[in-house]
Chain A
Amino acid sequence: MKLKLCFRVVITTLFIVSSHFVFAVEENVSVHVNDTYAEKKKSLTAIEYLQLMQKAYKELNYELLYLNSLQNQVEPKQLIHGVIGGQEIAYFCYLNGAMRESLQFAGKISYFEQGLQAYSLQAKHDRSVFANIANFDFVDGQSGYEYIILGKGRIAGKESIAIRMASKDEYRHSYIIWLDVNSYLPLRLDTLNKSNLILEQVIVVSLHITENVNPWLEKLSRQQLPQLLHIPQAAQQQAPQWQINWLPTGFKVVKNNQHKLVMYKNEPVSYIMLTDGIVSVSIYISAKKITLDEKQKIIQRGATVLYTYQNNDIEVNVVGDIPVVTAKRLIESVAKVD
Chain B
Amino acid sequence: MQTDNEQLSALIDNEVVDKPLVDELIIDKMQQTKFARYHLIGDVMRDEVAEPLIDIDISEKVMAAIKAQAPSAEVTKLDTAVNKMPSAKRTNIVSLMHRFGQYAIAASVAGVVVVTTLMTSPSVVENNDTGLEVLSTVPLGGAVTPVSLQANNSKSKQALKEHNERLEALLKDHQLQLQLQP
Residue ranges of B at the interface with A (Cβ–Cβ < 8 Å)? 89, 92-93, 95-97, 99-100, 102-103, 105-108, 110-112, 114-115, 119, 132-133, 136-137, 139-142, 144, 148, 152, 156, 159, 162-163, 165-174, 176-182
- Residue among A75, A125, A197, A306 making CB contact with B171, cutoff 8 Å: A306
Comparing A9-17, A65-73, A142-150, A159-167, the segment that makes contact with chain B is A65-73
Contact of A293 with B152 in the complex, beta carbons under 8 Å: yes
What 1/0 mask marks residues of chain A from 301 to 321 whose CB sits below 8 Å from any chain B CB? 110101110000000010110
| A116 CB contacts on chain B under 8 angstroms | 99, 102
Whether A293 pairs with B148 at a CB distance below 8 angstroms is yes
How far does the alpha carbon of A75 sit from the alpha carbon of B105 in the complex, in Å?
12
CB contact under 8 A between A319 and B174, given known A295-B142, A296-B141, A324-B140: yes
Query: Complex Cα distance A27/B151, Å?
Result: 70
CB atoms of A71 and B136 under 8 A apart: yes
In the bound complex, do residue A298 and residue B111 qualify as a contact, i.e. CB atoms below 8 Å apart? no
Closest 3 CB pairs of A and B: A264-B169, A294-B142, A263-B169
B106, B115, B144, B163 — which one has the most chain A CB atoms within 10 A of its CB?
A: B106
Partner of A109, one of B105, B132, B165, B179: B179
- Whether the Cβ atoms of B142 and A71 lie closer than 8 Å is no
B-chain residues with CB within 8 Å of residue A33 when the two chains form the complex: none
Does A4 have its Cβ within 8 Å of any Cβ on chain B?
no
Give the docked Cα–Cα distance between A284 and B100 (Å): 19
Does chain B have a CB within 8 A of A121? yes
**Given A231-B180, A261-B169, A264-B166, CB of A282 within 8 Å of CB of B174:** yes
In the complex, which residue of chain A has the Cβ closest to the Cβ of B107? A127
Contact in complex: A123, B182 (CB < 8 Å): no
Residues of B within 8 A of A75 (CB): 110
Q: When chains A and B are docked, how far (Å) is the Cα of A296 from the Cα of B140?
A: 10
B contact face: mostly helix, strand, loop, or mixed:
helix
A282 and B165 contacting across the interface, CB-CB below 8 Å: no
Q: Which of A72, A117, A123, A261 contacts B99 (CB 8 A)?
A: A117
Nearest B residue to A315 via CB reads: B166
Q: Please, which residues of chain A bring their CB within 8 A of the CB of B144?
A: 293
Contact B139 A299 (CB under 8 A): yes
Is the CB of A1 closer than 8 A to any CB of chain B? no
Which of chain B's residues have a CB closer than 8 A to the CB of A294? 141-142
Measured CA separation A45–B86 after assembly (Å):
55
Contact A282 B173 (CB under 8 A): yes
Which of B89, B92, B107, B168 has its CB near the most chain A CB atoms (within 10 A)? Answer: B92
Given the complex of chains A and B, what is the CA–CA distance between A75 and B110 in angstroms?
10
A230 x B166 contact (CB < 8 A): no
**A293-B142, A317-B167 known, 7 other contacts, Cβ within 8 Å:** A119-B99, A262-B173, A275-B181, A298-B141, A299-B115, A307-B141, A308-B167
- Tell me which residues across on chain A come within 8 A of B165, comparing CB atoms: 264
Q: Which residues of B contact A271 (CB under 8 A)?
A: 177
19 sample A-B contacts, Cβ–Cβ < 8 Å, listed by A number? A100-B106, A117-B95, A119-B99, A124-B182, A125-B181, A197-B132, A229-B92, A262-B176, A263-B172, A273-B177, A280-B178, A282-B170, A282-B177, A290-B159, A294-B141, A296-B142, A299-B115, A301-B114, A302-B111
Interface presence of A54 (CB below 8 A): no
User: Is there contact, CB below 8 Å, between B181 and A111?
Assistant: no
A289 sits at the interface (CB 8 A): yes
Q: Is the CB of B119 within 8 A of A254?
A: no
Q: Is the CB of A102 within 8 A of B115?
A: no
CB interface residues, A 18-71, toward B, < 8 Å? 68, 70-71
The minimal Cβ–Cβ distance linking A138 to chain B, given in whole angstroms, is 19
> Which residues of A from 263 to 286 have beta carbons under 8 Å from B?
263-264, 267, 271, 273, 275, 280, 282, 284
Q: CA–CA, A255 to B115, complex, Å? A: 27
Q: Please name all residues of chain B whose beta carbon is closer than 8 Å to the beta carbon of A117 when the two chains form the complex.
A: 95, 99
Shortest distance from the beta carbon of B137 to any chain A beta carbon, whole Å: 6
Q: Are B163 and A280 in contact (CB under 8 A)?
A: no
Task: Provide the residues of chain A in CB contact with B176, threshold 8 Å.
Answer: 231, 262
Complex Cα distance A264/B173, Å?
Answer: 9
Known: A230-B89, A231-B180, A308-B167. A262 touches B106 (CB 8 A): no
Q: With the chains together, A75 CA to B171 CA distance in Å?
A: 20
Residue on B with the closest CB to A102? B106
A256 to chain B, nearest CB (A): 12
List chain B residues, Cβ under 8 A from A298. 139-141
Is residue A243 within 8 Å, beta carbon to beta carbon, of the partner chain? Answer: no
How far, in Å, is A63 (CB) from chain B's closest CB? Answer: 19
In the complex, what residue of chain A is closest to B156 when comparing beta carbons?
A290
Say whether A255 contacts B182, CB under 8 Å: yes
Report which residue of B97, B132, B141, B162 has the largest number of chain A beta carbons within 10 angstroms of its beta carbon. Answer: B141
Question: Given A71-B137, A254-B182, do A320 and B174 touch, yes or no (CB 8 Å)?
Answer: yes
